[in-house]
Amino acid sequence: MIRNSPPCTRISAFNPACRELCDRKAATSVNRASAESRIRGALSSSIHAGTKRTSQRARSSRISLASPVESFERQVYAAQSVDAVAGELTAPGAPPGLGPEALHSGAPARLGNNPINRIFGSFAMWQQPAADARVGADLKAGADSQPGTDQSVQRARRESIARGADVFYLRRFLISDVGKYNDKGLGNPFKRSCGSGCHNTLLMGMDLAPGYMDLGLNNLPWANARPDLPLFKVVCESGAVPQSYLGRVMFTHDPGRALITGKCADVGASMTQQSRSLAARAPYFMNGSAANLRELVDFYDRRFNIGYTETEKQDLVNFLSVL
């Protein structure tokens, strides 16, 4: 079973729940090596980061591993810096939430789902037409003049990214039948956008008040078809609190949180992930069931019957590609 561990970069922005994930990641040398190789890979590409290697002796136990790994990750700020089409993402006039410097200087652990912050800040400077003359002037002077890049193609990509930001921030849909989410008193269905529902932490896009939930990533009938993974049948005791929408008999590729708690209601539940550096760390979801960002968007579109248009899907993919 594939466990695509989340990169716990900028861990100071996270709450203890994510640290738990980091600790779980640190518990095995395989996952630890995976995290390090991912970070090394990111460093060798377009991601800026400050690094310090963990010590070799830290391999011996979970207790001795947790501290140096966490110490290492606390000083890493990983975010996309360059897009092959949109160009430099941190040039003057670019959206302020992009790039690792925004993470480094940004306030940690703040709710961003409000009309000012919009999770990753404003993309107005890439909208068409330019939001104001001053921003347009910045574009002309800086980010829009990448050498060797066709300006019209670059501008079209930037406008697509800005539209994708609006889809992420504003496009609401009905979230229904998510175990450990809709049954928490929120209502079923519950209407939210990507950013206002779960991925709401300023600059990071993880859930500021996270919890394990069954989005449908692991449990049938919603999970993507994965004939390469084992399928488990879970039969809960008659007195157990059932999974609210699937009952006490479930088929799952990954029992998820239930393997830790033993609770029927936790079968298939996993944690909302942060959203930075997505382009560098496919495949997506904890079981790797989305090979690329388009498959990720398609899963949500199918799961919640959102009805994204083809343009909206591509805009959302382009937006997620520059975080």
Question: Could you say which residues in the range 207-266 bind another protein, by CB under 8 A?
Answer: 220-221, 225-227, 229-237, 239-241, 245-251, 255, 258, 261-265
Structure tokens at 29: 């040398």
CA distance 277 to 204: 10
Instruction: Kindly give, in sequence order, each residue whose CB lies less than 8 Å from that of residue 193, ignoring residues fewer than 6 positions away.
Output: 168, 169, 170, 171, 172, 173
Site for another protein in 42-81 (CB under 8 A): none
Residue from 44, 53, 56, 115 touching another protein (CB under 8 A): that is 115
Of the pair 251, 283, the CB lying nearest another protein is at 251
Decide: is 131 part of the binding site for another protein (CB under 8 A).
Answer: yes
**What is the rounded distance in angstroms from the CA atom of residue 174 to the CA atom of residue 193?**
9
Q: Tokens at residue 108, please?
A: 């940690």
141 binds another protein (CB under 8 A): no
DSSP 307: -
Q: Is 203 in the site for another protein (CB under 8 A)?
A: yes
Please, are residues 250 and 271 in contact by the beta-carbon 8 Å criterion?
no
CB nearer to another protein: give 196 or 272: 196
Shortest Cβ 127–another protein spacing (Å): 10
Task: Of 106, 173, 150, 159, give the one whose Cα is nearest residue 311.
Answer: 159
CB count in 10 Å sphere of residue 25: 22
Cis peptide before 100 (omega within 30 of 0): no
Kindly indicate which of the ranges 72-80, 154-162, 275-283, 302-310 contains the residues binding another protein, using the contact rule CB under 8 A. 302-310
Of 7, 68, 121, 179, the one binding another protein by CB under 8 A: 121
Query: Does residue 174 bind another protein (CB under 8 A)?
Result: yes
Choices 17-25, 52-60, 120-128, 140-148; region in contact with another protein by CB under 8 A:
120-128
Answer for the pair 274, 297: CB distance below 8 angstroms, yes or no. Answer: no
111 binds another protein (CB under 8 A): yes
170 binds another protein (CB under 8 A): yes
